[in-house]
Structure 1
Amino acid sequence: MGSLATGSFGTVPGLLLLPFLTDELAVPAAVAGVLVLLPKAWDVLLNPVAGRISDASRHPLGPRRPFLLRAGLALAVLFALMFLPPLFGSPWLDGGYVTALFLLCATAFAFFQVPFNAMTPELTADTGERTRLTAWRIAVLAVAILLSGAGAPLLRDAFDGYRAMGVAVGALIAVGVLSVYFGTKDAPVVRSTSAGMGYRELFAAVRGAPVFRVVFAGFVVQAVGIGTLLAGVDYVARVVLRDPGAQTLLFAAFVAPALVVMPLWRRAAARWGIRAGWLASTALFALALLGAALLPPTPVLVALVACCGMGYAGLQVFPITLLAEIISAEERRTGGTRAGAFSGVWTAGETLGLALGPGVFGLVLALGGYRAGADPATQPGSAATAITLGFSVLPAALVLATLPLLRRAQAPAASEPGE
């Protein structure tokens, strides 16, 4: 249930925070892109610190659960406050307010997410139970992404503003926080694990694993492409299609097929190999986006976005599968524990990549002459062109740029069928 919090906070800012800054608060697009990026970059730096503080906790309720409650509820309240209407009447002051609140949200999220991720190996030593816990976490995460990503724009449009949406998503985060806190009240702690290590130790672990670096680099660049695509959904709906309601349709078309085909991609990996599956899903993702650049009729556009979502599922499944193989191989090679270090670096890279996406899209908007705060119908043709290219061609180019890396993304020989 904690995935309700992580999924909601991981999805909604990437979709709506940039439009909130540019259209509700009239912050210039390039500046808004930087404002969206900075708090997420802070989150990346803070994760190891949050892990060490959590490890050192000696609270009677355990080292993790107090952080879940305090940081999680703080995240819920701060998220709702972040989407208040203009308070100062100045784009710069209102933009500064949102950035400060987003920074506080990112801080609270780090102190929720890191202890939450550390709990799975502490709750049970049984591999089967861990697998079931992880499967349920992923399932709830998928529901949270679909619910918050598709529902947030509907709430914004239904109530003519962002305030109701912010309160509703904050409430969803709170439900997840309270559920995981009270739901683990009587759960055993079978062993303690490390949730964080120092930057020097992280650097040494990554430096000694060249295969991990290749896979990680490809994954992060693809995350930038995905973040750019998601940041453009709202602008495509309002400015290009002139249909605000199309955002929910496009997002649902992107996420729902991904949930359906993930098991099929796993079967493909078992039959043809992880690397081949990653290459195929990358090609599907990029080709569907390039087709979307032609702006076909809405039903065709939705179908192309659905194909893109099928490719997106592979972009999630295959890197994670490779990561597990690489961690196992490195632990066999070194005789030490690498799961925490590599998973922490991986999460930080994904966070940074998804945050860079809106920053890149904000720059594209600025280059296209997008007028912050203006009515969508009055935006210049160059802005609509920039939105279309930023939504389609740019993410496709970023994802295709990883193909040379993917060809080198070799799993350990014992785990790669047919290699």
Structure 2
Amino acid sequence: MTATERALSRRTVVGYALGSLGTGGFATLPGLVLVFYMTDTLGIGALLAGVLVTVAKIWDVIIDPVIGARSDSALRRSGSRRGFMRAGALLLPLFFVLTFAVPAGLPAATSGVWVLLAFVLTATAFSLFQVPYIALPAEIADGYDQRTRLLTWRVVVLTFSILLFGAGGPMLRNLGGDNEYLGYLLMAIVAGVVIGIGMLLASRVAPRGVVVAAPAEPSGGIRRHYAAGIAVLRRSQPFRALLATFMLQGLATGVMLAGANYVAVWVLHSEDALTLLFVALIAPALFCAPLWGVIARRIGKERGFVLASMLFGVAALALTAMLWAPGSWVYLPVALAGAGYAGMQSLPMAMLPDVISHDAATHGDGQAGTFSGVWTAGETIGMALGATALTLMLALTGYTESVGTTSVVQGEAAVAGIVLSFSVLPAALIALSLLTLRRYALRRGDIDRSDIEAEALA
């Protein structure tokens, strides 16, 4: 720890980490079951299901920079981002339940419109929380190592949340028995409440009444908010490199997440395999997230990020063998992917506040909300395109949708498309992300100098 770093209290670390109970739940459960819900319960075609999810995510991308800039303005006026976070925490459970409350018997087109509108509202509520939540580390943690500590424990809770929702969500859904509509509704009610509680608890960590370096509220309406987001992209090369890397990796993990249910049902021929896949993925991640923090302190976050990404990519590529020999062996490479995934989450999230503090020291103002708005929009694009890529593959390989418990048989081409979407495609995307990561130039010395300069200006 450098001389300029203030030690984080345990309350701050724990409180901030609890927010990932909500963010992990929302990132995991819709990504895991929403497309499958539309294709295999509501009878919506795979391509249309992908379009609906993408449209909802595009809306998310549109509003994230606006929320980020207005969060900065709220911070300037009141000294806190807490109001945005609480609004999102209270609204999300209601809209989340509505997304999975489509009545049985509706035409597929009507069901699709229902899901689209409800999920757009849910995504809006999530952004109200998520954007200021991501901005907080640059404001509550000083220094290279303190931010690593804060974000490491956030990712420990995040991985637990993914396990909880990824394994527990389908189990709750199955309690509906043959009534899949009831099962999804029960899952949504329980999950929505837990997500909201996690978000509310984390909102208490947001500082109140603190005087910070925040830009004046932009004039000229929404257009100026987007201009502010474009400006930080233009002036911060480290931010562009880190964001491009995170987007590509979000695309890789998004396509695997959306494909897991299909792998369990049509490749491993067991709905219980979905729970086992998530246990295999997340159990190693729970233990490895602190380990990546230790590695980062020794060799740097940047090198640790490269190692984590390579581990994930190689493990994903190994899953191609499911084309010829599907079986229980798949849980081993999935576990290795989970170990890499822990680093792929914790390290870039710990690098983001470094980028923000470096920019503030270089340009003399604090725009954490603007940065986090652009970051969240980029992450959303990656995850949304992951689901879209899967549905395109399903459509191209002749996947057959179904309504309720109707029995269908998938062709060999459709099964092969599922496997390739779960293995080769994410491995290729990880390889591309390593090329963009090479352009990230900030190191520990740069960050420590930035923090010293920022403290001198304060």
* SS of structure 2 residue aligned to 1:401: helix
Residues 1:74 and 2:91 aligned together: yes
Contact kept in structure 2, 1:5 and 1:177, CA below 8 Å: yes
The offset of 1:350, in angstroms, is 1.1
Equivalent residue runs for 1:158-197 within 5 Å: 158-160=175-177, 161=180, 162-180=184-202, 188-191=208-211
C-alpha distance after superposition, 1:288-342 (max 9, x if no partner):
1111110255332001100011121222233234434433433333333354333
Residues 1:29 and 2:46 aligned together: yes
The offset of 1:26, in angstroms, is 1.1
* SS of structure 2 residue aligned to 1:201: helix
Contact kept in structure 2, 1:326 and 1:412, CA below 8 Å: no
Matched letter for residue 175 of structure 1: I
* SS of structure 1 residue aligned to 2:417: helix
- Residue 450 of structure 2 corresponds to none
CA pair 110-224 structure 1, distance change in 2 beyond 3 A: same
**Which one of the candidate residues 358, 368, 371 is aligned to 1:329?**
358
Q: What percent identity do the matched residue pairs reach?
A: 41
Matched letter for residue 261 of structure 2: D
- Pairwise CA RMSD: 3.2
Matched letter for residue 335 of structure 1: G
- Residue 365 of structure 1 corresponds to 394
Matched letter for residue 294 of structure 1: A
Q: Give the distance between the partners of 1:281 and 1:163, measured in 2 at CA.
A: 36
Equivalent residue runs for 1:42-53 within 5 Å: 42-53=59-70
Residues 1:407 and 2:438 aligned together: yes
- Residue 3 of structure 1 corresponds to 20
Residues 1:342 and 2:371 aligned together: yes
- Residue 397 of structure 1 corresponds to 428
Q: Give the distance between the partners of 1:157 and 1:76, measured in 2 at CA.
A: 20
Matched letter for residue 357 of structure 1: G
Matched letter for residue 211 of structure 2: R
Contact kept in structure 1, 2:151 and 2:346, CA below 8 Å: no
Greater shift in the superposed pair: 202-211 or 304-313? 202-211
CA pair 334-55 structure 1, distance change in 2 beyond 3 A: closer
Q: Give the distance between the partners of 2:112 and 2:213, measured in 1 at CA.
A: 40
* SS of structure 2 residue aligned to 1:190: coil
The offset of 1:245, in angstroms, is 0.7
Q: Give the distance between the partners of 2:287 and 2:38, measured in 1 at CA.
A: 34
Matched letter for residue 97 of structure 1: W
- Residue 294 of structure 1 corresponds to 321
Equivalent residue runs for 1:149-298 within 5 Å: 149-160=166-177, 161=180, 162-180=184-202, 188-191=208-211, 198-295=225-322, 296=325, 298=327
- Residue 114 of structure 1 corresponds to 131
Provide structure 2 residue ranges, at least 5 long, that are not aligned to the other structure. 1-17, 219-224, 448-458
CA pair 271-102 structure 1, distance change in 2 beyond 3 A: same
Greater shift in the superposed pair: 276-285 or 407-416? 407-416
Contact kept in structure 1, 2:296 and 2:304, CA below 8 Å: yes
Q: Give the distance between the partners of 1:414 and 1:288, measured in 2 at CA.
A: 33
Q: Give the distance between the partners of 2:149 and 2:310, measured in 1 at CA.
A: 31
Matched letter for residue 412 of structure 2: G
Q: Give the distance between the partners of 1:26 and 1:220, measured in 2 at CA.
A: 30
Q: TM-score, normalised by structure 2?
A: 0.80
* SS of structure 2 residue aligned to 1:293: helix
Contact kept in structure 2, 1:56 and 1:63, CA below 8 Å: no
Residues 1:318 and 2:338 aligned together: no
Greater shift in the superposed pair: 191-200 or 138-147? 191-200
Contact kept in structure 1, 2:65 and 2:377, CA below 8 Å: no
